[in-house]
Structure 1
Amino acid sequence: MSEISNAIATRDNGPEAIVRQHKDDLTLVLPSHVKGETWMRLAYGALRSNPQLMQTATRNPGSLMTALQECARLGHEPGTESFYLVPFGNEVQGIEGYRGVVERIYRAGAVKVVKAEVVRQNDVFDYDPDMERPVHKVDWFADRGDVIGAYAYGIFQDGSTSRVVVIDRPYIDKVRKESRGSDNPKSPWVKWFDQMVLKTVARRLEPWVPTSTEWRKEQMRAAQEVAAEKAGPTVEPVYRAPATHEDFNDEGPIEGELVD
């Protein structure tokens, strides 16, 4: 088969075609802030720019679809620092990056600053539960030593501080050990160790801060319901004409959707 024929076959039957066939399923779960067409173009671009990813996706298209579905659910753009598409063995793995976790926190709107830092052996670090925030002093131009831990916290819009999360090196090593293929030279734990440590501590912060735009919508909805309850029912007398047969063809009220 010629190179042109191979290219046509790949286009018509390869991973791009499969992604295109499932476009509606993928874009259906995207949050409102993500444009479906842009998201799809990024997915195609990620495949075309990485021959190894394309080959792995061709062998195992199901793993590619699983990774893309998770990417869409989280509201990230595929093949970016927010959500990596990584060929690993015979499957495509979708890996949310540190930036992706932080983006989800900011996206909720309740937190104005996310602070996450790696702590090294020669840094000055002090924190106890009675302190609002840790004290962390770094000599950026000296040998900071090995990573011994990390911490993260959020600052809310009113200036208050979320719970401070601190992790030590044994916990980092435990998470890494449980990560599949973490010793592989292509693993993010090998290529971007500091970023994976930051992602690990940011994940520990998630339970203590909102991480979704849906949170904002629910807060608005709840506030409106509380306001309506306080106001009480407001019923005005309305003249109603005698019923006709047309009244019985009504399909019922249309349920409204709160738009942010």
Structure 2
Amino acid sequence: MTNTTVSTAVAVQESGPGALVAQCRGDIELVMPSHMQKRVGAWIRTTQGLLRRDPKLLKAAQNDVGQFMSVLLDAARLGLEPGTEQYYLVPRWSKAKRCTEVTGVRGYQGEIELMYRAGAVSSVIVEVVYSNDQFTYRPGHDERPLHEIDWDADDRGELRLAYAYAVMKDGATSKVVVLNKGHIAKARAKSDAADKDWSPWNTDTEAMWLKTAAHRLTKWVPTSAEYIREQLRAHADVAAEQAPAVLAPLPQPLDRGDEDEAIDAEFVDEEA
């Protein structure tokens, strides 16, 4: 959060988190991808509506408005809709603060959206397999899984597997990710709130299986952030080739400061 956002959070805390979201419109719009900025008003109104409809979420946001705004800015930076299966807003108990606070969890639709936005895939398939479904996939033999569902069945059984793959724009199939109950259990164990009744692991179990498979697929398919970095690098290379040759300046001693200081870092979603 910027200093302006923090100051605004303190100033309007008595007015409620909904007012804070509106006050911080400039900061939200600043970090949003360009294609989202034209609908920042609708994005803010949707978030305010979530607070009005969910007393637990509102209370958690009131307990720490700074944390709440950090989560919203993360969703805005990714260009995802908070409070949806793109990006969950979850009240979580904080042992340190002795109260609930809002945390953000990327959903499976958010993971898929980031893959599409990278521009390298034509389609992304993420599905769950129930015990009464027919599922076959032989790595090294089958290009894609064969998944047959009896849509007339009253009960497809219990959740058994989750899988994900992408079809690239050149027609090639990405690595196929297949997860069984053991893989899902390990992913769930990484969530310190999985046993809470409000956790999406309990309120939307199938979606979390889908999210886990989609998240694993991001290791094999370009994401939006990767795509942007590659585009910037490509533009820089072209500019360097077109620029006139100049003599390089003599190297200067570096003021390294604290050798242990983190120069650049990226938070990794450990939810799955």
1:186 paired residue number:
198
2:78 to 74, 99, 102: 74
Offset at residue 45 of structure 1 (A): 2.6
Whole-angstrom CA distance in 2 between matches of 1:133 and 1:227: 41
Q: 1:62/1:129 Cα in 2 relative to 1: closer, same or farther (>3 Å)?
A: same
8 Å CA contact 2:91, 2:198 repeated in 1 = no
2:223 paired residue number:
211
2:183 to 171, 188, 200: 171
8 Å CA contact 1:107, 1:213 repeated in 2 = no
2:149 to 108, 124, 138: 138
1:89-108 aligned within 5 A: 89=93, 90-108=100-118
TM-score (norm 2): 0.72
1:155 to 155, 167, 170: 167
1:26 to 15, 19, 28: 28
8 Å CA contact 1:109, 1:213 repeated in 2 = no
Deviates further, 163-172 or 124-133 = 124-133
Q: 1:157/1:10 Cα in 2 relative to 1: closer, same or farther (>3 Å)?
A: same
Where do 5+ consecutive residues of structure 2 fail to align? 1-10, 94-99, 246-272
Deviations, residues 98-125 of structure 1 (Å, cap 9, x unaligned): 1111111111121111111112223222
1:56 to 31, 56, 60: 60
Deviations, residues 122-170 of structure 1 (Å, cap 9, x unaligned): 3222222212111222223334322222111000112111111111110
Please give the root-mean-square deviation of Cα atoms over the aligned residues, in Å. 2.8
Whole-angstrom CA distance in 2 between matches of 1:126 and 1:217: 37
1:47 to 44, 51, 63: 51
Whole-angstrom CA distance in 2 between matches of 1:189 and 1:12: 33
8 Å CA contact 2:164, 2:178 repeated in 1 = yes
Q: 1:185/1:234 Cα in 2 relative to 1: closer, same or farther (>3 Å)?
A: closer
Give yes or no for the alignment of 1:88 onto 2:99. no
Counterpart AA for 1:92: V
Secondary structure of the structure 2 residue equivalent to 1:79: coil
1:222 to 234, 238, 260: 234
TM-score (norm 1): 0.75
8 Å CA contact 2:12, 2:20 repeated in 1 = no
Deviations, residues 190-211 of structure 1 (Å, cap 9, x unaligned): 1211110000000000011122
Q: 1:18/1:134 Cα in 2 relative to 1: closer, same or farther (>3 Å)?
A: same
Secondary structure of the structure 2 residue equivalent to 1:100: helix
Where do 5+ consecutive residues of structure 1 fail to align? 1-8, 236-260
Deviates further, 138-147 or 55-64 = 138-147
Whole-angstrom CA distance in 1 between matches of 2:102 and 2:239: 48
Q: 1:134/1:159 Cα in 2 relative to 1: closer, same or farther (>3 Å)?
A: same
Q: State the number of aligned residues.
A: 225
